[in-house]
């Protein structure tokens, strides 16, 4: 194994870890980072061979899950009874949560945005506004689960690929026995 291959593998392992971390930390786009790791391994090492169809599926899945991560929050608000103002509040909350560097800003921002938007729709019903804001939180958790499953699957796929190569190497090395 060459030094460059080892460096690519180390970088890819770091990216896989960041992708998994990005499932929970909204500032790191987990699925795209995991996809970049498998793309690097496929392109620059001889240890991972991914078909073009799989690469396309992994890339499209990363893009779709990244989109769904934000869309689920808005859609959940709608399911929980939020109107246009609550959905706009979630959208603004997502943006503010990404910009303002407070812990859990991407969780708190959409929640508060949905709550304020829902209150503006029906100013006297705080419980309904809390229910709608909870919808934003549930949407966030749904996106988090999707990102986590995707990142875990990429790690699993890579481990299986490495294991397959390693087991063939062991079989060849000890074929004389």
b or e along 10-32 (b: 16 or more beta carbons within 10 Å of the residue's beta carbon)? eebeebbebbbebbeebeebbbb
Per-residue pLDDT of 69-112, as tens digits, reads 888 888 898 899 899 999 899 889 888 887 876 667 778 888 89
Query: For the chain, how many structural domains are there in total?
Result: 1
pLDDT at 177 over 80: no
Per-residue model confidence (pLDDT) at position 48: 81
**Separation of alpha carbons 78 and 88, rounded Å:** 11
Residue closest to 152 by CA, chosen among 11, 50, 17, 54: 17
Per-residue pLDDT of 130-165, as tens digits, reads 999 999 889 988 999 999 999 999 999 999 888 877
Per-residue model confidence (pLDDT) at position 134: 92
* pLDDT bucket at 20, cuts 50 / 70 / 90: very high
| 68: containing domain | 3-173
Report which of residues 105 and 14 the model is more confident about: 14
Per-residue model confidence (pLDDT) at position 102: 67
**Separation of alpha carbons 66 and 35, rounded Å:** 12
And the tokens for 64?
A: 């779709």
**Separation of alpha carbons 73 and 89, rounded Å:** 11
**Separation of alpha carbons 65 and 52, rounded Å:** 20
Question: What mean pLDDT do residues 109-138 have?
Answer: 88
Residue 157 in 3-state DSSP? helix
Angle between helices 30-44 and 3-21 (to 10 degrees): 160
Per-residue model confidence (pLDDT) at position 100: 78
**Separation of alpha carbons 26 and 104, rounded Å:** 8
**Separation of alpha carbons 8 and 25, rounded Å:** 24
């Amino acid at each position: 194994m060459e030094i460059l291959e080892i460096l690519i593998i180390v970088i890819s392992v770091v990216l896989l870890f960041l992708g998994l971390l990005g499932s929970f930390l909204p500032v790191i786009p987990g699925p795209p980072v995991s996809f970049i790791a498998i793309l690097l391994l496929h392109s620059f090492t001889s240890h991972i061979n991914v078909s073009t169809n799989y690469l396309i599926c992994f890339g499209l899945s990363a893009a779709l899950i990244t989109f769904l991560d934000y869309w689920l929050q808005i859609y959940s608000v709608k399911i929980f009874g939020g109107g246009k103002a609550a959905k706009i509040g979630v959208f603004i909350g997502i943006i503010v949560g990404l910009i303002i560097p407070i812990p859990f800003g991407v969780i708190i921002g959409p929640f508060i945005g949905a709550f304020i938007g829902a209150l503006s729709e029906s100013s006297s019903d705080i419980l309904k506004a809390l229910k709608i804001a909870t919808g934003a939180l549930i949407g966030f958790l749904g996106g988090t689960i999707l990102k986590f499953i995707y990142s875990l699957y990429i790690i699993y796929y890579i481990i299986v690929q490495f294991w397959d190569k390693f087991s063939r190497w062991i079989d060849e090395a000890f074929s004389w026995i």
